[in-house]
Structure 1
């Protein structure tokens, strides 16, 4: 899974679906190697049946993500959806100082869960305790209810932040792709401070 972070621009993008852009990158080109052994980077896959019970206690929105954006909450930047409403990628405020702890603590994880009497994969994009916060809201991406996002919505600004993807659509969100970490850090402060 390709996750980019340009430290100069303080912007990042998470490619949830593989596309032509994702094959252009290799970890050897990333500044992440200044901090971590790139061979040791991983996105673990974990079977956690109990997560489905936790998800069932969270609020499930009636509106789809597309229907709710700019009505119920606002986006920090923009999240790309395909014609049907499935999320292709997430644009977000992301600095080196934010990315490095997420990588170090393996916040990016793929869980196999049973929820709503169906098998799903949950891709966490933050620490799982923050992802599973009872105040977060689950939004379906389409009326098929085979893919969802977990949103943390700031109560004051009403800005929603994507915390996780929940998917039963392995054709759109292939497990092999989601488990392959491509953390592309550009313009690292450490790179510029090298002698």
Structure 2
């Protein structure tokens, strides 16, 4: 895929708030529920305050190309909870705004959030070898929502660093 084709559209959509309000809002922060209420496919890259500084997605290259070419990755400016937010989506809107997805605040300041889908580990091919291990759902990132430009600058959201790895 030509890198020039990897564009992320920037749009304004004030209707997003109504979708967010219908979703489940976690009581705890994302960091405090980690390894208690959910696991992730990969380790969480978080700073000491709980802000995510790196998101890893498992996408086969065909799926990634499909999402990028069809502009599923979007940066959306919206107003929610009387605050202006920017949201970057990692999937199509139908996958992001499912009412059963969970919104986690990253810190108690409630200035950044993630939308995750909780999936049973077996559906993703994970199998626990030790019966004593507690099975927790896997959190799959669907979107990042932020009102803070110093940690999540708009320029970065529009041109994130995609690192593609091909398994041998």
With normalisation by structure 2, the TM-score equals 0.84
Structure 1 moving runs of 4+ over 4 Å: 186-189
Q: Which has the higher contact order (CA 8 A, sep 6+)?
A: 1
Is 2:57–2:141's contact at 8 Å kept on the other side of the alignment?
Answer: no
Question: Please, which of 153, 157, 161 is the counterpart of residue 174 of structure 1?
Answer: 153
Aligned length: 154
What CA deviation, in whole Å up to 9, does each residue of 1:85-120 have, x standing for no partner?
000002332321221111111111100011111111
Structure 1: runs of 5 or more not aligned: 1-34, 190-195
Answering whether residue 58 of structure 2 is matched by residue 93 of structure 1, we say yes
With normalisation by structure 1, the TM-score equals 0.73
After TM superposition, the structure 1 = structure 2 runs for residues 3-152 of structure 1, keeping only pairs within 5 Å, are 35=1, 37-152=2-117
Q: Distance in 1 between matches of 2:165 and 2:51?
A: 28
Structure 2: runs of 5 or more not aligned: 123-136
Which of the two has greater strand per residue?
A: 1
Q: CA RMSD in A?
A: 1.9
